[in-house]
Amino acid sequence: MQRPKLQTGEAMALAIDAGATDRELLEVTIGQALAATRDAFADREALVVSHQNIRQTWAEFATTVDDVAKGLMAIGIERGDRVGMWSPNFAEWIYIQFATAKIGAIQVNINPAYRTSELEYALTQSGCRVLVTKTEYLTSMYRNMVESVAAKCPELERTLYFDTSDWADLIAAGFDVSDAALAARASDLRATDPINIQYTSGTTGFPKGATLSHRNILNDARLVAEMCDYDETDRVCIPVPFYHCFGMVMGNLACAATGATMVIPAPSFDAETTTAVAEAEKCTSLYGVPTMFIAQLGLPSLDRRDLSALRTGIMAGSPCPIEVMRNVIDKMNMAEVTIAYGMTETSPVSTQTRTTDSVEIRVTTVGRALPHVEVKIVDPETGETVERGVDGEYCTRGFHVMLGYWNDPVRTAEAIDADGWMHSGDLATMDEAGNVNIVGRIKDMIIRGGENVYPREIEEFLYAHPAIADAQVIGVPDPKYGEEIAVWVQLAAGASLTEDELKAYCDGQIAHFKIPRYVMFVTEFPMTVTGKVRKIEMRDKSIAELGLHDAAATQTA
């Protein structure tokens, strides 16, 4: 492990650190990595999708991926074309993930909770030629929403509904594409090619499309897997959504990089189903954001579950209450559970605790830099690196930093400085051993149950309501989700609006996790002398008025 040296006259080291570089990074494509795993572990189980009764070995899985890849080629998908994937966790999502990588198309991850305005934006901004989705799931009428926006997305040529004959037709179309043609396409790809666009909320306006390469996400997946000590005997339960890097990279791709088995318990998270499947499939690893683990710990059936096969896992997505981490270790047999930290723009993980770290380190920090990753804490005003133990902005540099935001060089330059450092907007400290603790955020991003929510996006949506003169959105503490969304609303002169009416206006138009939990009607906002809204003061007042003092006092790592 590389360590910074003390400068002359300093009592403490600077808050800058770097992971080990003794092992080389992978310089191959995802298709090449999958082929290597297939060859090494052909007869070992690759994929178990409990809710679809699917079981495949690595040889069978690779064959299905090839069939889907040839189908995409047959319908005209070229290298660099964007293919949208909009669905909860189904096997077809994973096949599209690896098939697009195999032919050099760029998969666009679309949050299955998106509604029409968000879908239209993602399809248009990325320039998707094809969208793969389901006709419906629970309350999400995907076909209806596609039909309502398709005409507004000029580059969208076709939509494939994988729960209809469209999927069989896609596979059948691929019969006309030879293995040689697929191999020729794959051989023309480079590890540094863009392969994935993931939409993430940013500092202003609409979500930004973080563009990631084979090299970005394949190496991050492998290193995350190594921090959990995975090998081909591990079975990883993945209840987190695929459209996040958590599911797609740390889950699916980490398994493909090591030969471990992907175990998919349900289309979307259900606590009872997740623990039942983890037991039945003898999973050795379990993923989740803190709210998922809290739900499982609260199950009356948990004590009756045999989770003796579990040893590790990853908790990430939002700050973890320390007591939750201790209970996961004690009550779910996850003695080697790790905490990971990062952001979509960094593929996603940049720091992670190790299985050999003490419980204290694993419940109070987000670990230290991954191999080949640099991290530093800087003064947000000056950009100078602060001393260890001092708060500052968390920055990171290395193979894992995105190629940029899709078609947005201005905001890319705002996020990644001239020296290649990705500025997170998060406030953090670093201890003497290089362990990082996230203590807050410079940006006013809200993280609700692992979902990144940017207030400006909700505010702009609410501004369109004729009864609303102004709206300011903030995050307030919540014992279940970490944060919940609150909005302060100023009504237009003579207008009236109730809390229920505001929520009804949002329903079906923006994702459910963006709909404010708390609505407060006010006549003015607290302002600075320069006319800026004081959201910190708003948050403090909201905590007091809503009685959220206990939630605000919850200690997190």
Strand segments (E) across 77-207: 82-86, 106-110, 130-133, 158-161, 194-200
505 and 401 co-located in one domain = no
pLDDT at residue number 484: 95
For residues 162 and 131, the answer to whether their CB atoms sit within 8 Å is no
- Least confident segment among 37-46, 49-58, 153-162, 195-204: 195-204
pLDDT at residue number 488: 97
pLDDT at residue number 444: 72
pLDDT at residue number 371: 98
Q: What is the mean pLDDT of residues 353-377?
A: 94
pLDDT in tens, 394-441: 999 999 999 999 999 999 999 999 999 999 988 899 999 999 998 766
Count how many domains the chain has.
Answer: 2
306 and 191 co-located in one domain = yes
For residues 29 and 101, the answer to whether their CB atoms sit within 8 Å is yes
Burial of 485 (0-12, 13-18, 19+ CB in 10 A): buried
Residue with more model confidence, 154 or 6? 154
165 and 35 co-located in one domain = yes
Domain assignment of residue 261, yes or no: yes
279 and 402 co-located in one domain = yes
How far from chain centre, in Å, is Cα 384? 29
Domain assignment of residue 93, yes or no: yes
| Structural domain ending residue among the three candidates 429, 458, 478 | 429
pLDDT at residue number 334: 97
Model confidence band, residue 516 (pLDDT cutoffs 50, 70, 90): very high
Domain assignment of residue 130, yes or no: yes
| Residue 555, pLDDT above cutoff 70 | no
CB atoms within 10 A of CB 17: 24
Domain assignment of residue 477, yes or no: yes
- Least confident segment among 98-112, 206-220, 414-428, 443-457: 443-457
DSSP one-letter string for 4-19: PPPPTT-SS-BSEEE-
- Least confident segment among 385-399, 503-517, 529-543: 529-543
403 and 376 co-located in one domain = yes
Measured between alpha carbons, how far is 383 from 107 in angstroms, rounded to an integer?
35
Tell me the CATH number at 501. Answer: 3.30.300.30
44 and 180 co-located in one domain = yes
| Residue 544, pLDDT above cutoff 90 | yes
Domain assignment of residue 8, yes or no: no
| Residue 502, pLDDT above cutoff 50 | yes
Mean pLDDT of the chain: 92
365 and 465 co-located in one domain = no
pLDDT at residue number 556: 63
Residue in 456, 512, 443 with CA at minimum distance from that of residue 484: 512
For residue 211, the cross-strand partners are: 197, 404
pLDDT at residue number 200: 86
Structure token pair of residue 50:
């409990």
Q: What is the mean pLDDT of residues 467-484?
A: 91
109 and 214 co-located in one domain = yes
pLDDT at residue number 1: 32
Q: What is the mean pLDDT of residues 169-176?
A: 98
For residues 261 and 55, the answer to whether their CB atoms sit within 8 Å is no
For residue 287, the cross-strand partners are: 314
φ and ψ at residue 444, rounded to 5 degrees: -95, 30
Using alpha carbons only, give the angle 312, 313, 317 rounded to the nearest 5 degrees. Answer: 155
Domain assignment of residue 2, yes or no: no
DSSP one-letter string for 358-381: -HHHHHH---EEPTTEEEEEE-TT
425 and 460 co-located in one domain = no
In Å, how far are 189, 194, 206, 383, 393 from 411, measured between CA atoms?
27, 18, 12, 18, 18
The range of the structural domain enclosing residue 279 comes to 30-429
Residue in 255, 266, 319, 267 with CA at minimum distance from that of residue 293: 319
Residue in 126, 186, 124, 131 with CA at minimum distance from that of residue 161: 131
Q: What is the mean pLDDT of residues 151-159?
A: 97
pLDDT in tens, 294-352: 899 999 999 999 999 999 999 988 777 777 888 999 999 999 999 999 999 999 999 99
Residue carrying the six token digits 């919850």? 554
Domain assignment of residue 78, yes or no: yes
pLDDT at residue number 182: 98
**pTM summary value:** 0.85
Structure token pair of residue 423:
């500025």
Classify the C-alpha dihedral 288-289-292-296 as positive or negative: positive
Question: Which H or E run includes 222?
Answer: helix 214-227
Residue carrying the six token digits 């990144």? 452
105 and 158 co-located in one domain = yes
Domain assignment of residue 480, yes or no: yes
| Residue 236, pLDDT above cutoff 60 | yes
498 and 540 co-located in one domain = yes
| Residue 73, pLDDT above cutoff 80 | yes
For residue 129, the cross-strand partners are: none
pLDDT in tens, 435-451: 999 876 676 778 889 88
Structure token pair of residue 513:
């996790």
411 and 468 co-located in one domain = no
Model confidence band, residue 205 (pLDDT cutoffs 50, 70, 90): low
For residues 472 and 488, the answer to whether their CB atoms sit within 8 Å is yes
Measured between alpha carbons, how far is 22 from 34 in angstroms, rounded to an integer?
24
